[in-house]
Amino acid sequence: MTEKSELSRRSLLRRAAAVGFMATPAVGMLSACVGGGSEEPQTQASGEKSAENPLGIDPKAGVEIVIFNGGLGTAYATDIDTPLFNKKWPDAKVTYSATEQISTVVQPRMNAGTPPDMINNSGSNLMDFGAIVKAQQAADLSDLFAAPSLDIAGKTVAETLVPGAVEQGTYDGKPFAVNYSFTVFGLWFNKKLFEKNSWAIPATWAEFTALLDKIEAAGITPFGYAGANASYYMVRALLTSAGKLGTEQVLKDIDNLKPGAWQNDAIKQAAQAWGEVGKKYLNPTFLGLRHTEVQLQQNQDKLAIYPCGSWLENEQAKDTPPTFEYAVAAYPSLTAADKLPATAINAAAGEIYFAAAKGKNPQGGKEYLRTMLSKEAALGFTKLTKSLTVVAGAADGQTISPGLTSANDMLGKAGKDVFMGYLFDTWYKKLDDESRGAVNDLMFKGGDAQKFCDRMEAASQAVAKDSSITKFTRS
* Cβ proximity of 44 and 360 under 8 Å: yes
Q: Using CA atoms, how far apart are residues 316 and 309, in angstroms rounded to an integer?
A: 12
Judge if 302 and 448 occupy the same domain: yes
Judge if 277 and 263 occupy the same domain: yes
* Cβ proximity of 135 and 365 under 8 Å: no
pLDDT of residue 362: 98
pLDDT of residue 16: 37
Judge if 377 and 311 occupy the same domain: no
Angstrom distances, CA of residue 63 to CA of 16, 46, 121, 211, 344: 31, 12, 17, 52, 42
* Cβ proximity of 122 and 352 under 8 Å: yes
Judge if 33 and 56 occupy the same domain: yes
CATH number of the domain to which 431 belongs:
3.40.190.10
Closest CA to 240 of 345, 338, 348: 345
Does residue 305 sit within a domain?
Answer: yes
Bridge partners of 85, per DSSP, are none
pLDDT of residue 342: 97
Does residue 409 sit within a domain?
Answer: no
Does residue 8 sit within a domain?
Answer: no
Q: Using CA atoms, how far apart are residues 440 and 341, in angstroms rounded to an integer?
A: 28
Judge if 285 and 330 occupy the same domain: yes
Kindly report, residue by residue over 391-448, the tens digit of the pLDDT.
887 877 777 789 988 987 887 788 889 888 898 997 899 999 999 999 999 999 998 9
Judge if 339 and 357 occupy the same domain: no
Does residue 332 sit within a domain?
Answer: yes
Does residue 259 sit within a domain?
Answer: yes
Does residue 6 sit within a domain?
Answer: no
H helix intervals, 61-101: 75, 82-88
Judge if 295 and 174 occupy the same domain: no
Q: What's at 309, amino acid-wise? A: G
Kindly report, residue by residue over 26-55, the tens digit of the pLDDT.
433 333 345 554 445 678 988 999 999 999
Domains in the chain, number: 2
Do the strands 326-329 and 388-389 form a parallel or antiparallel pair, or are they unpaired? unpaired
Judge if 68 and 205 occupy the same domain: no
Q: Using CA atoms, how far apart are residues 77 and 63, in angstroms rounded to an integer?
A: 13
Q: Using CA atoms, how far apart are residues 441 and 227, in angstroms rounded to an integer?
A: 10
Judge if 33 and 75 occupy the same domain: yes
- Domain span at 82: 16-182+348-398
Does residue 416 sit within a domain?
Answer: no
- In 3-state terms, the chain is what percent helix, strand and coil (to 5)? 45, 15, 40
Q: What is the DSSP-derived secondary structure letter of residue 245?
A: H
Angstrom distances, CA of residue 423 to CA of 2, 129, 254: 21, 11, 9
Judge if 37 and 84 occupy the same domain: yes
Bridge partners of 372, per DSSP, are none
pLDDT of residue 13: 34
Do the strands 326-329 and 178-190 form a parallel or antiparallel pair, or are they unpaired? antiparallel
* Cβ proximity of 344 and 419 under 8 Å: yes
Q: Using CA atoms, how far apart are residues 320 and 312, in angstroms rounded to an integer?
A: 11
Judge if 137 and 37 occupy the same domain: yes
Judge if 121 and 154 occupy the same domain: yes
Does residue 38 sit within a domain?
Answer: yes
User: Which parts of the chain have pLDDT scores under 50?
Assistant: 1-33, 37-39
